[in-house]
A = this chain, B = another copy of it.
């Protein structure tokens, strides 16, 4: 079953005809996931969109799920770079809320979160898939945690809201808002939430301006 007669599971070449086909299929897989979801992302549907043969999915990736995971990886690394740059400059809660909003809008268009959600739900069907998707989600939780930590700094708010918890909530909120937005095609409600978060964040920044005198328990 795990008998990889091809090099597809190991090396992943970066140039040549094989690499071209792989890239083509990965791109088509991303688009297919966005358009028709995991349930509709068959080897045939993806290959047709890529303008190539469905057998190639199995030759290059071994299985449909492995191709979908590769698609998730591709889009994930691409978005991660973009976001890290934006979040690095968010040194207040209000700035974080502002950045989060920008990221959400960009993502809704790019469809990254959609791809992720489809993979999370699709993973229910296939036994081992859940862990593999969870693995790919972890960097995002870490990214969010760093951002929260940077935004809260050493302010009083950091005591009330541990970054790890805030990050979990933030990621969950992202997923949920995207889910709702994709359902009714209406992003206004989600944006209103972000705007509200920003104005509340401004208040929080003012309150947080009162730095605590670095109590001993800080270790």
Interface residues, chain A, with chain B CB atoms under 8 Å away: 35-40, 117-118, 120-125, 130-131, 133-134, 137, 160-162, 165, 168-169, 171-177, 179-180, 182-185, 189-190, 192-193, 196, 200, 203
B184 touches A134 (CB 8 A): yes
Number of copies: 2
B172 touches A179 (CB 8 A): yes
Q: Give every chain B residue within 8 A of A183 (Cβ-Cβ).
A: 120, 123, 130, 133-134, 137
- In the complex, how many angstroms separate the beta carbon of A23 from the nearest chain B beta carbon? 24
Q: Mind listing 15 A-B residue pairs with CB under 8 Å? A: A37-B121, A37-B125, A39-B124, A40-B124, A121-B121, A123-B183, A130-B183, A130-B184, A134-B183, A165-B192, A165-B196, A172-B190, A173-B173, A175-B180, A179-B179
- In the complex, what distance in Å separates the CA atom of A163 from the CA atom of B131? 37
B165 touches A171 (CB 8 A): no
- In the complex, what distance in Å separates the CA atom of A174 from the CA atom of B177? 10
Q: Which of A35, A39, A118, A122 has the most CB of B within 10 A?
A: A39
Are A179 and B169 CB-contacts (below 8 A) given A36-B124, A118-B121? no
Contact with A125, one of B40, B169, B203 (Cβ below 8 angstroms)? B40
A121 touches B125 (CB 8 A): no
B176 touches A36 (CB 8 A): no
Q: Give every chain B residue within 8 A of A185 (Cβ-Cβ).
A: 130
